Structure 1
Amino acid sequence: MSARPEARGVQITARPITAKAFAPFGDVIETDTVPPQMINEGLCRRFSDLARFDQTGGRIAMSLFQAELREMPYRCNLLERHPLGSQCFIPMSQAAFLVIVAPDEGGRPGPASAFLATNDVAVNIARNTWHGVLAPISGSGLFAVIDRIGSGDNLEEHRLEEPVFVITTP
């Protein structure tokens, strides 16, 4: 990890992501939350209905995102939200990534929280939840993304007055 940031701002520590801690912001998608259904002649376990995809208008689509790896401590200057649909990030390699989220406070982001996720989970960020951009810190940076595609203004951005610096525990 790098030295502490020099610029002023807020520092937060990314904690390991859990379904309970992340619940106010969306879903942590993992296979140990529901019993599997055996399919394909007993050679495949199907884990069904693991996330609540939520959209207004448009359609649900899958895209691939190739994000550049970020250095730690990570400087977050921008939060965004999608008022018309949830957004699900599924790592496609051995990876660790930061998930930065904030509650809405009167149309603006409230205090940020940061979570550290690894390739054994996917994260579905709830519709209208303020969040940082895709921020992988290891792996290839390749993610499958399931979100709403269609007409309408589905992106609001908010530049932070002071950056949020995210660190991880050693």
Structure 2
Amino acid sequence: MTRADDRILIQPISAGGFAPYGDFLEAAGAPDKLINQGLCGRYHDRAHLDFADGRAGISLFKAEPRDLPMPLAMMERHPEGSQAFIPMSEHGFLVIVAPDVDGRPGQPLAFETQPGQAINYHRGTWHGVLTPLQAPGIFAVVDRIGTGANLQEHWFDTPYVVVRPE
């Protein structure tokens, strides 16, 4: 039986709620400027890419969709670089983050994005693995390309369970 304090309730994502963990990306409101003869709105410089060394690269990820409720047994972080996830489909996805508490993830939070929204994790942010809730789980990922270790994992003694609010 799952204890109530082991459950992580999914909440809608917002710029303010996600700010401690990274940048929330969406083309909402008025663009910063119009380009291409006024036919394209540019939402300028919305993510802070941060790399200790190496360079920015764009990769494509294809992740299997997950079902809810979903166990959360592990979180990871990338101490050498930020990591942006940009869906290449019309679906939102699940974003799980946690504050750092003495080098380990603290209490996790779960957010659900909507179509047209993306995120950029700050360098060193504890996060869950890429979690689409619908197929296809195809994402453009902008992250650090370089040598050396850039992955730390933390496995929980008792997994959490990610659920939708009732």
Shorter-chain TM band? over 0.9
Q: Does structure 2 retain, via aligned residues, the 8 Å contact 1:84–1:127?
A: yes
**Deviation for aligned residue 1:41:** 1.4
Aligned to 1:55: 51
Aligned to 2:81: 85
CA distance in 2, matches of 1:152, 1:97: 29
The two structures have a TM-score, normalised by structure 1, of 0.92
Q: Does structure 2 retain, via aligned residues, the 8 Å contact 1:96–1:139?
A: no
SS in 1 for 2:140: strand
CA distance in 1, matches of 2:157, 2:56: 33
Q: 1:33 to 1:130 in 2, by over 3 A?
A: farther
CA distance in 1, matches of 2:135, 2:59: 18
**Deviation for aligned residue 1:137:** 0.5
Residue identity matched to 1:137: L
Aligned to 2:106: 110
- Give the unaligned 5+ runs of structure 2: none
CA distance in 2, matches of 1:164, 1:124: 23
Aligned to 2:71: 75
Aligned pairs for 1:114-125 (under 5 A) are 114-125=110-121
User: What is the RMSD of the two structures over their aligned residues, measured on CA atoms?
Assistant: 1.5
CA distance in 1, matches of 2:119, 2:134: 16
Q: Deviations over 1:21-64 (max 9, x none)?
A: 01110010112266331111111111111111111101000000
Aligned pairs for 1:35-46 (under 5 A) are 35-46=31-42
Q: How many residues align?
A: 165
Identity %: 49
